[in-house]
Amino acid sequence: MKDMAPIEFQSVSRAEARLVLAGAPAAQSDWTDRRIERKEESLRPSTTEWIDGLPAELRPVNLAQKYVRIANKICHLWNEPMQCRGYLDDLMIVRRQARMGFAPAVAMEIGALNLHYNALHPAGRSWVEPVTLAARDNSALKKR
């Protein structure tokens, strides 16, 4: 039996496979030339206030200087525990091989914010809990 070379496999959608069978070129795996160019974003006043309101040792100065969009998004999500916790966690994990990750100073700031946020909003504490407790307390008062 002859030595068989392994078959290279690339995951594609059915639509992409049909296009290739019809003679269209294969889909690109490098998307850098297809990205939407974003206009330069500036730090929002609300983000500046949020940063100023944090303890001095937690202020993400490097993040705000190098990644304005991310700083603005964290500020926007800050009062939404589920979304903010998820976003901060996602920033800490490199999911794509082509990504280099953040500079050490920025990564340290995101990590410190993540720890601080998790201390402020512990996991497992539902936003429904205070509403449920208040409703139960009110119903107990009505029975008296």
Q: Which residues contact 128 (CB under 8 A, 6 or more apart)?
A: none
Residue 27 lies inside a defined structural domain of this protein: no
- pLDDT 10s digits, 116-138: 999 998 877 555 555 555 555 55
Q: What's the structural domain count of the chain?
A: 1
- pLDDT 10s digits, 16-71: 777 767 776 555 555 556 556 566 789 999 999 999 999 999 999 999 999 999 99
Range of the domain at 44: 40-123
Residue 17 lies inside a defined structural domain of this protein: no
Note the pLDDT of residue 128.
Answer: 54
Residue 74 lies inside a defined structural domain of this protein: yes
- pLDDT 10s digits, 71-117: 999 999 999 998 999 999 989 887 766 667 889 999 999 999 999 99
Instruction: Give backbone dihedrals phi and psi of 7, rounded to 5 degrees, phi first.
Output: -85, 130
Taking phi over 0 as left and psi of -120 to 50 as alpha, with beta for the rest, 17 belongs to alpha
Residue 106 lies inside a defined structural domain of this protein: yes
Global pTM? 0.61
Residue 102 lies inside a defined structural domain of this protein: yes
Residue 135 lies inside a defined structural domain of this protein: no
Note the pLDDT of residue 6.
Answer: 67
Residue 103 lies inside a defined structural domain of this protein: yes
Residue 35 lies inside a defined structural domain of this protein: no
